[in-house]
Amino acid sequence: MQEAVIPNQTPPLEAPPAVDAIIRAVKVEKYYAQPSQNRIQVISATDLDIVPGEILALLGPSGSGKSTMLRMLSGLSVPTAGQVYWHNLPIASAEVNVSIVFQSFALFPWLTVLENVEAPLQARGVAPEERRERSMKMLDTVGLDGFEGAYPKELSGGMKQRVGFARALVVEPEVLFMDEPFSALDVLTAENLRSELLELWAKKTMPTKAVFLVTHNIEEAVLLADRIVVLGRNPGHIRTDFKVQLPQPRDRKSEPFTQLVDYIYKVLTRPDVVPAEAPDQQAGQRVRDQRQMHYQMLPHARPGGMAGLLELLLDKGGRDDIYHLADDLAFEIDDLLPIVDAAQLLGFLTIEEGDAAITPSGTEFANSEILRQKELFRGAAVKSVLLLRQIRRALEAKSDHTVPEDFFLDMLDEQFSEEECLRQMETAVAWGRYAELFDFDAGRRRFVLPDTPEEDIASETTPNEGAE
């Protein structure tokens, strides 16, 4: 299926000419070998260039390997396959001049503000006087003069991140990496820092030639970036890569701005639809394609959250833009998406053009009282979630009606990373408990059949193993 062309945007450009790329990733991949023949692919073979004069934003749902990508491009992490070049030299052997601004600030709490900013210069052997002078100047630039003697814990979050920026910029990096730099801050502080960053960038106050921003905030990306790359997951790959040609400063309320935001939402909420301009989709070998997966990836959402979402949707007449829904709930889209995904998986709603539309079964669910809701949920869960169906069947089949968790973990293990296995299991337990499909004895790590025998649920449904 092809995606419509972005409204009011020129069609995406070809990948920029390779000659002047500062950092170029060629077919980089990241995977972890598993004891069994399988391997967990985090990022499939991907090409990406960072070119001068550009703020590049990397967007994607959680689990799409945004941070892994940032770390491979900055030289902090070595790709399992492929190569990253710094000015045409392999990055591992080049004298790389980059900085990272971290989500958690990563300031050293035992050093003063000044010492924190001086530390990278000290590592480069800059003499004490020059070190001090450059650091003070940088603190002045980010609006922290007078705070040089304070310790980070004496500062507010916004000021801590200012120190983070000062420390990153004091080494005059060619590329400034930012890993969700504003997401630990409150809305106003984040907005403030964003516009100050843009100002520094526009006035060329910093010698930085390119900025690479990882974010999950779509508006933030559209607000700041000259180019946006959207990653998909399972495994991470580039879904679309396009230039943003809105003039700065950008107006969030303007039509082109919101249309661009809507477009990205559509890309993000329809992981199965291939956007027309996604480059390099077939490049490299994918070790595991989503369609070959045996188990669905369970979105980490609570049944209560789904009920809440469906009720809200019903109030809105059964259909609404996901972006508006997130706004109404004051949710980050990243928090809302798992709930939407889960409701979609269970057949309670469908996604069309970035809109969520409630289905008849969803309507019935939202209108029912709690016991009936559980019954509907149970039916839907057994019908559409392979893992839950398997657990229930195993419990019914065994004479003592109990099965150890490990049994299912071993099966999930084939497909997910260790951490993801545990999260999948956690979600499955939450759903199963809600639906009263089974109970889970956390002490013994075993599933048990609930005391009151339900009607034979698992056998009601059509056998549908292994299919999505």
Q: Burial of 249 by CB count in 10 Å (0-12 exposed, 13-18 middle, 19+ buried)? A: exposed
Is residue 426 within the footprint of other proteins (CB under 8 A)? no
Using CA atoms, how far apart are residues 170 and 176, in angstroms rounded to an integer?
A: 11
**What is the number of H-type helices and E-type strands within the chain?**
16, 16
Using CA atoms, how far apart are residues 98 and 355, in angstroms rounded to an integer?
A: 40
Using CA atoms, how far apart are residues 124 and 349, in angstroms rounded to an integer?
A: 56
Is residue 444 within the footprint of other proteins (CB under 8 A)? no
Interface stretch with other proteins, choices 109-117, 252-260, 326-334, 340-348 (CB under 8 A): 109-117
Interface stretch with other proteins, choices 52-60, 106-114, 274-282, 341-349 (CB under 8 A): 106-114
Nearer Cβ to other proteins (141/344): 141
What token pair was written down for 43?
């990022």
Query: Helix (H, G, I), strand (E, B), or coil: what is residue 358?
Result: strand
Binding other proteins by CB under 8 A: which of 8, 88, 122, 464?
A: 122
- Torsion sign across C-alpha atoms 325, 326, 328, 331: positive
Using CA atoms, how far apart are residues 380 and 359, in angstroms rounded to an integer?
A: 13
Using CA atoms, how far apart are residues 43 and 31, in angstroms rounded to an integer?
A: 7
Choose among 310, 306, 431: nearest CA to 363.
310
Which residues are within 8 A (CB) of 314 and not within 5 positions of it... i.e. 6 or more apart? 358, 363, 366, 367
Is residue 23 within the footprint of other proteins (CB under 8 A)? no
Is residue 419 within the footprint of other proteins (CB under 8 A)? no
Using CB under 8 A, count the residues that bind other proteins.
49
Is residue 357 within the footprint of other proteins (CB under 8 A)? no
| Cβ 179 to other proteins shortest distance, Å | 8
What part of residues 32-61 is at the interface with other proteins (CB under 8 A)?
A: none
Strands (E) in 303-456, as ranges, are 319-321, 349-352, 355-358, 402-404, 439-441, 446-448
Is residue 347 within the footprint of other proteins (CB under 8 A)? no
What part of residues 169-188 is at the interface with other proteins (CB under 8 A)?
A: 171, 177
Is residue 124 within the footprint of other proteins (CB under 8 A)? yes
Interface stretch with other proteins, choices 99-107, 198-206, 373-381, 398-406 (CB under 8 A): 99-107
| Cβ 121 to other proteins shortest distance, Å | 9
| Cβ 78 to other proteins shortest distance, Å | 5
Binding other proteins by CB under 8 A: which of 26, 81, 119, 283?
A: 119
Interface stretch with other proteins, choices 67-75, 295-303, 357-365, 381-389 (CB under 8 A): 67-75
Nearer Cβ to other proteins (9/77): 77
Binding other proteins by CB under 8 A: which of 102, 274, 312, 350?
A: 102
| Cβ 51 to other proteins shortest distance, Å | 21
Beta-bridged to residue 321, according to DSSP, are 355
| Cβ 97 to other proteins shortest distance, Å | 9
Nearer Cβ to other proteins (4/106): 106
Binding other proteins by CB under 8 A: which of 82, 120, 299, 318?
A: 120
Is residue 404 within the footprint of other proteins (CB under 8 A)? no
Which residues are within 8 A (CB) of 237 and not within 5 positions of it... i.e. 6 or more apart? 43, 44, 46, 231, 281, 286
Nearer Cβ to other proteins (171/366): 171
Binding other proteins by CB under 8 A: which of 25, 48, 100, 231?
A: 100
Site string for other proteins, 132-171 (x = CB under 8 A): -----------xxxxx-xxx-xx----x-------x---x
- Residue type for 121, please? L
Binding other proteins by CB under 8 A: which of 15, 26, 27, 76?
A: 76
Binding other proteins by CB under 8 A: which of 109, 247, 317, 360?
A: 109
Which residues are within 8 A (CB) of 102 and not within 5 positions of it... i.e. 6 or more apart? 164, 179, 181
Using CA atoms, how far apart are residues 392 and 395, in angstroms rounded to an integer?
A: 5
Q: Would you give the DSSP letter of residue 85?
A: E
What token pair was written down for 146?
């007078």
Query: Helix (H, G, I), strand (E, B), or coil: what is residue 405?
Result: helix
Enumerate binding residues for other proteins (CB under 8 A).
71, 74-78, 91-96, 98-100, 102-104, 106, 108-112, 119-120, 122-128, 143-147, 149-151, 153-154, 159, 167, 171, 177, 442-443
